[in-house]
Amino acid sequence: MDNIAYKERDIEKIKIQERKSIIYKVIRKISRKIFKFRENNIQKVLVYVGVCTQDEYFNLVNKFLFAFPYKEDFKIDIYLSKKLDFEFNDKYKLKFQRNYLNSQKNHIGIVHKYSDSNYDLVLIKSFSNINKFLFKIHKTAIIDENFFSVDESAVYQNYYYFAFTKKEQEIFYQKSIENYKKFYEKNKHKKKSYAFVTGPSFDSYADFTYETNSLKVICNSVVKNDDFLEYIEGPDILVFADPVFHFSSCEYSAAFRDNVMDVVEKYKCFVMVPFKTVPLLLQHYPKLEAYIIGMHSFNEYNFPSVEKFYTKGSANILTLYMLPVASAIADKVFVLGADGRDPDEKYFWKHSSSAQYDDLMNTVFETHPSFFRDRDYKDYYEEHTTFLENLIEFGEKNNKEYYSLTKSHFKCLQSRIC
């Protein structure tokens, strides 16, 4: 398949891009300490573009209207070195993104001159322009979709959070704690947890029965499978965290969120996401307020409680939220659909089509190319495998039991098939 996500990995180029990203972040971190820069209560944002085409402009504006929705006293200026010969058009047809051009109040403007001292944050569209902000590097972030890995998509996922004051951020935190407490009290009596992952063996879900009085944890695009959701009598909690598949303006991500709302409204299940994404989701989907749980991630294994409200940071949803939450509730945890990766696979791993938006995958590839271009799938899988093994060992030391209902390439699950 001639697509950036499936092409042979150029490991040397990936390492070069990674070094550039690391050097930039180290210099920025040092600069932020010197200038005592704090990422909160950001009110004025400069987007340094320079020259762009009509298509590039509308695609960029659309990303911002999703990722930085209207907020009072919050303003975005896009710097263009040349005046455009076209006018803003909220009916502009976007090829790969859901259209947000006509959904927000106008808080995005164009400037042809700027003073970076007037802005709290500078977002740089092309990394080649970083030299223009070397003395202001502490207030920069990169939104170059061709720079490195998740650097661009993580900005769109997380940075709206920094438009809020510390007091406002604390309100989001208390709401998350309150909802997690409700979730825990509702489910704490359950003896078994089931974690449903999206590998090909997910399609065998009907070969098993799941106790009504058990915790059902679902993730990601499982939300599209109505037959499955009815079969398990609805999920108790839905978890997701991916910047490009779940928190993007691309059509895949938007379709996913449509289904999230359908599932929450039908089954009244809780939703666990990275903490910094809470204000973004609530701005677009205010009906989530009674169900959303924004979870912190630290560098320590933990099964979250109200008193210790965090999980260990992980790049995979199974280890980030699914197993920690399942283990926080029940002593017996069953996993279905965690197939792992075939050694000859050219992508992360195979997914069940019944738990994937196959026809919309290209919208993600086109909107966030470096996310896929710069991923060493083999290295990612090895890291995930090690993390999964260590997490299960941690759970077993805390008197938890783990079982896989389906076959898996993960050795730690192969030995625990029931």
Check whether 258 has a pLDDT greater than 80.
yes
Reading the block at residue 8, the tokens are: 């042979």
88 shares its domain with 19: yes
The predicted pLDDT at position 104 comes to 67
Write down which residue in 134, 163, 192 finishes a domain.
163
| Gyration radius of the chain's alpha carbons | 22
> Is the model's pLDDT at 1 over the cut of 50?
no
Q: Is the pLDDT of residue 341 over 80?
A: no
Q: Which of 241, 248, 249, 300 is nearest to 275 (CA)?
A: 241
Q: Are residue 382 and residue 311 in the same domain, yes or no?
A: yes
Domain count, the chain: 2
Whether 5 has a pLDDT exceeding 80, the answer reads no
Is 8 domain-assigned?
A: no
Assign 10 a pLDDT band (cuts: 50, 70, 90): confident
Q: Is residue 245 part of a domain?
A: yes
Q: What is the pLDDT of residues 209-218, one digit of tens each?
A: 999 899 999 9
Is residue 257, in this structure, part of any structural domain at all? yes
More confident of the two residues 378 and 361:
361
332 beta partners? 192, 401
**Residue 1 within a domain:** no
Indicate whether 239 and 307 sit together in one domain. yes
Instruction: Report, as an integer, the average pLDDT of 328-345.
Output: 86
185 and 307 housed in the same domain: yes
Q: What confidence score (pLDDT) does residue 372 get?
A: 87
Q: In the chain, what is the greatest distance between 2 CA atoms, to the nearest angstrom?
A: 67
Q: Are 163 and 182 in contact (CB under 8 A)?
A: no
pLDDT at 344: 61
| Rounded mean pLDDT, 331-348 | 78
Q: What global pTM score does this model have? A: 0.95
Residue 7 lies in a domain: no
154 with 193, same domain: the answer is no
Q: Is residue 248 assigned to a domain? A: yes
pLDDT band of residue 60 (cuts 50, 70, 90) is very high
Per residue in 137-190, pLDDT tens? Answer: 999 999 999 999 999 999 999 999 999 999 999 999 999 999 999 999 999 999
Between 225-234, 284-293, 348-357, the lowest mean confidence (pLDDT) is in 348-357
Label residue 345 by pLDDT band (50, 70, 90). low
Backbone angles phi, psi at 155, to 5 degrees: -65, -50
Mean pLDDT, residues 312-328 taken together? 97
Q: What whole-number percentage of the chain has pLDDT above 70?
A: 96
What CATH number should be reported for the domain holding residue 256?
A: 3.90.1480
Whether residues 249 and 304 fall in one domain: yes
In the structure encoding, which two tokens stand for residue 39, read together?
């990422």
- Are 35 and 122 in a shared domain? yes
111 and 176 belong to one structural domain: no
In this structure, the answer to whether residues 312 and 373 fall within a common structural domain is: yes
Q: What is the pLDDT of residue 179?
A: 98
Q: Which amino acid is at 157?
A: Q
Of the chain, the percentage scoring pLDDT greater than 90 comes to 82
Write down the pLDDT at residue 236.
Answer: 98
Question: What mean pLDDT comes out for the span 181-207?
Answer: 96
Mean pLDDT: which of 69-73, 324-328, 368-372 is highest? 324-328
Cβ-proximal residues to 38 (8 Å cutoff; 6+ apart), any chain: none
> Which of 122, 148, 163 is the last residue before a domain boundary?
163
Average pLDDT, the chain: 93
Same domain, 158 and 172: no
Q: Is residue 4 part of a domain?
A: no
Range of the domain at 207: 166-414
Residues 129, 179, single domain; the answer is no
Residue 166's H or E segment, with its range, is helix 166-187
Residue 396 has pLDDT above 60, yes or no: yes
Listed residues 127, 144, 163: the one ending a domain: 163
Which has the closest alpha carbon to 281: 308, 247, 306, 310? Answer: 247
d(CA 296, CA 283): 20
| Burial of 350 per CB tally in 10 Å (0-12, 13-18, 19+) | middle
Residue 348 has pLDDT above 60, yes or no: no
The answer to the question of residue 29 being in a domain is yes
> Do 181 and 92 share a structural domain?
no
